Chain A
């Protein structure tokens, strides 16, 4: 896009415009999403409370209610309390919003449709969502009001405490997938819904619910919403905010809700892959041409958004159903329940993948990949079968891909398609290209790092070569 603009304006302006267009597209997701979610929240709240919710603005269902609310907020007087620290008071909503928005940089909406494909995607999202707490603290302090300060402190303590079990819960699918790259994790769950990581083993299943609880606490949704406890603290840390500043806090909250739901969808529910491989059945893959591939990706994006909205609706359902927890109950849930359960699930997931290697259920995914081949991504362009259901892809695919990586194409995907548990296998695939004999000699010293009961290191080093040979003789 920058090159296109560069034909008309100086180069720096071209890049600036391209960056602005991309940012505008991403902000639209957050802003329009918030618009939709506020309406949805009011409708869901109404129905749960046995009433209708907004019905007047924009037809029978009140579609445009949020727009009317937004207009009202824009026209409100811009107040600031007298003792407030002016700079910090003005800055706090934007800090919260930026932190929530930055999570969308690394969140893929479909195969390859991500702003920045980060190698440490999961880690980056967790890190920037933890920065939202600064906006809250600043808002609480800068409002020069006791209610705000108490609300801000409580919320900061809660968010920071719940980052710990949330991190531990997120590590479980990362260790099963072997990569922190969200696009790779999504690709691995292609095919039928049995490939989804939530159904990989019972530990992952429980981990998802613990993750969801921690995510709800982390974005301050009920029943963990003491910071905005309307019945106790007036409105907590955003008591003194009105008009457009307040709406930034709300956009940040709904943006964070969508982001943690998106993370849950990718890590546990296959992301853009549907429960059934419909894109593959309809032939909407890149194999059949770029348009078909684009449509397949678009369908995947709709799938992803549907999953996110479903989980956001679940959060709203929980909010309007469950009573609010006290701060000591919140801390108790975190430290006495979530952290130990997450730790046990982590150990259990490790144990499952290592102690049950031969069974079909819970067989390490990477070993399945070695034997049966990787389900090919729909986004990349290569001349082999796409989105095949689990177990069907030909070995030639795996052999060709592994052979390519072993020969040293150093393709990032080729290098990371290999199982990542055993140091031996990682060394074999990443550094087999160098073929240095010291490397080969070192590998024998690394035998104790391999899985119990697996083949000795030298054999696993030659495994890619073996598969290449098998692929060669098959072709």
Chain B
């Protein structure tokens, strides 16, 4: 039991480091590029996926990781809508960036879980 919880802690620490490294690396690449709309492409880089898929395959196998990737399709559709709405509100209404990006996270959750329910939830 204790050994199992130690494995979980190790796994979480590994995920924090790997996720942090990938996200920071992509954000540095984004900071180096101009124009801003092109640099923004790196805001939607598969950083979390690259950090976790290898570990998931090692722990749970390829089929499990493949099922995660299937759900990732729905998550990316939600991300697209979220980023589009954020951009419209910031460009047209000039709302504060932090308040806009934080409050619109609700959109990501609603669309992602709505799609999950509609597409995968009933199967």
Q: Are A and B subunits of one complex? A: no
